[in-house]
Amino acid sequence: MYVHAPTPDATSEVARIVGSFLRAGDVVVLAGEMGSGKTFFAQGVCRALGVTGAVTSPTFNLVHSYDTESVVVHHADLYRLSRTTEIADLALHELAASGGIVLIEWGDVGDDVIGDHLEIRLAQAGADDARDVVLRVVGGRWDLRWPRMVAALKPFESTDFEWDHE
């Protein structure tokens, strides 16, 4: 699905909608160039899930965990990892399997080892604050929720979308 968010508020709303569809055990990969809005998007998802404190980039700690009333949200960053074997050391599968939700910035570097996930690829679009977003599922975990989420994101859908961001 292709989405266009013309403002930061629109990007936050897209993140809120995505967050409302997340369930314990889900893994979300946030991909895009430096400055594309991965952490900003993660902040919106975390707010939708009930995180009340500051949500910061886990670049140097690799994983931050946030408790909510219903689930623990684990926010990881793979930017500094040089080998996919290092991803296993973070135990992200175990964090999801234990009932958490895992958001992974720069997660596309580990696509081959992450397993079922929702991928959200962000890019700046024209104006500095606008974002183009591509959402796709990998694996079958989202089969039942995907059509409902697509319907909820319909106001932001872009039908004349050409992904020319590299």
165 falls within a domain? no
Burial (CB < 10 A; 0-12, 13-18, 19+), residue 57, is middle
91 falls within a domain? yes
162 falls within a domain? no
Query: What pLDDT shows up at residue 159?
Result: 80
Structure tokens at 96: 């999801």
Task: Indicate the DSSP class of residue 70.
Answer: S
161 falls within a domain? no
Count of CA atoms in the C-beta half-sphere (13 A) of 39:
14
35 falls within a domain? yes
The domain spanning residue 136 has which CATH number?
3.40.50.300
84 falls within a domain? yes
Query: What pLDDT shows up at residue 75?
Result: 92
Closest by CA to 117, choosing from 88, 140, 148, is: 140
Domain assignment of residue 79, given as a range = 2-156
Residues of the chain with pLDDT under 70: 60, 81-85, 110-112, 161-166
Query: What pLDDT shows up at residue 55?
Result: 93
How many domains does the chain divide into?
A: 1
Closest by CA to 128, choosing from 4, 11, 22, 7, is: 7
Query: What pLDDT shows up at residue 20?
Result: 97
Q: For 146, phi and psi rounded to 5 degrees?
A: -55, -50
Query: What pLDDT shows up at residue 164?
Result: 60
Query: What pLDDT shows up at residue 23?
Result: 96
14 falls within a domain? yes
125 falls within a domain? yes
Query: What pLDDT shows up at residue 62?
Result: 82
Structure tokens at 100: 């958490």
Query: What pLDDT shows up at residue 113?
Result: 73
Q: Are 38 and 15 in contact (CB under 8 A)?
A: no
